[in-house]
Structure 1
Amino acid sequence: MAITFYTNPMSRGQIVRWMLEEVGEPYETVVLDYSDDGMKSAAYRAINPMGKVPAIVHDGRVVTECAAICAYLADTFPAAGLAPPPAERHAYYRWLFFAAGPVEAAVTNRALGFVVPEGRERMAGYGSFDETVATLETAVSGDAWICGDQFTAADVYVGAQVDWGLSFKSIPSSPLLEAYAARLRERPAYKRQKEIDGALIAATQKQG
């Protein structure tokens, strides 16, 4: 297989598996644990020096970081229709990288109990958590997808942030976010990803 996918089912690798299922190309899965023999091994650090998953290797080319992998796969397999035409990618790029930057930082900092000191919001990049979530809502405020009627890689990445955030209550619920998440959860590729990773998690817990 041309694509090798390095992951752990209890990680952001779920985002990339969803994207791979949307693309529909065959891929090989390599499951790594969090040990020195897994993600932290010299062999895997040769692929990702950060020693974290997910990562893909496609025809010898390494891609890491979830948003980058989603964008790469959309461009590499255009027949899947997961990226708009180049002249119409303004919303696609805007919200894909908004989720990878401000949303990721704001949600993570809040989960860790970090609060930006008053008056220092400009240094944080995302301003405040509330501003970030309010802005996120504008990305999904339509009746369909981020780029209108076309479902794209931006919906996979932004959608994963919304889906997880609502599920684990790291993002506050709202009618707009709940409606968007409900649409995402009906996608066959989303369901396949949950089934595959759910089975891997269950197998891991049984072994433990």
Structure 2
Amino acid sequence: MLTLTFCSMKKIFLLLPVLALLALATFSCKKIKQLLTFEISHTENFKIPATPLVGGLPVTLNLPVPVTNKASETFSKQGTRADLVKDVTLTKLTLSIIDPTTENFNFLKSIEISIGTDQTDIVPLASLTDVPMGVQTIELQSSGTKLDKYLKAPNYTLYTKATVRQATTKEITVKEEIRFKVTADPL
């Protein structure tokens, strides 16, 4: 009986280092992934022109906003390159009225923002179908689209399609704040 116990203990002592190595490897992989996951933020302003309603019906506006992509600078600071980026997703897209400061989003019925590097590869980025009344800031819901291609490109365009529920007499300046989560391989 003592021999079996000694043998069993010997096996346990041999297994402990193996289990410890497995735990360490799992922990290390998670840590490396965390180190190679970072965020890229981008802010852009665009203008919504004064918009009369035609016959009392909602009007849909299409507003392309070209963006010079500076993500490669962030990739470099994070110790990676665009060709090593393997996963990009939108984590936040917020719109805030910055001029006139007294305006709110009451004029807006719905908004949809898409992203593309040219006219043939436009994909949905985020949208909000029922814009709340009386607010100066709204957060759109991400489409969940994989965005690697767009953040690796030197330029992309944000296409804003807005349905206006009431006339606006002044041009409105909106600040668009975007945050992307990026996972990449090390250099």
Which bin holds the TM-score, normalised by the shorter protein? Answer: under 0.3
Using the size of structure 1 for normalisation, the TM-score is 0.19
Using the size of structure 2 for normalisation, the TM-score is 0.21
Q: Pick the structure with more strand per residue.
A: 2
Q: Pick the structure with more helix per residue.
A: 1
Rg: which structure is higher? 2
Specify which structure has the bigger relative contact order, considering alpha-carbon pairs within 8 angstroms and separated by 6 or more residues: 2
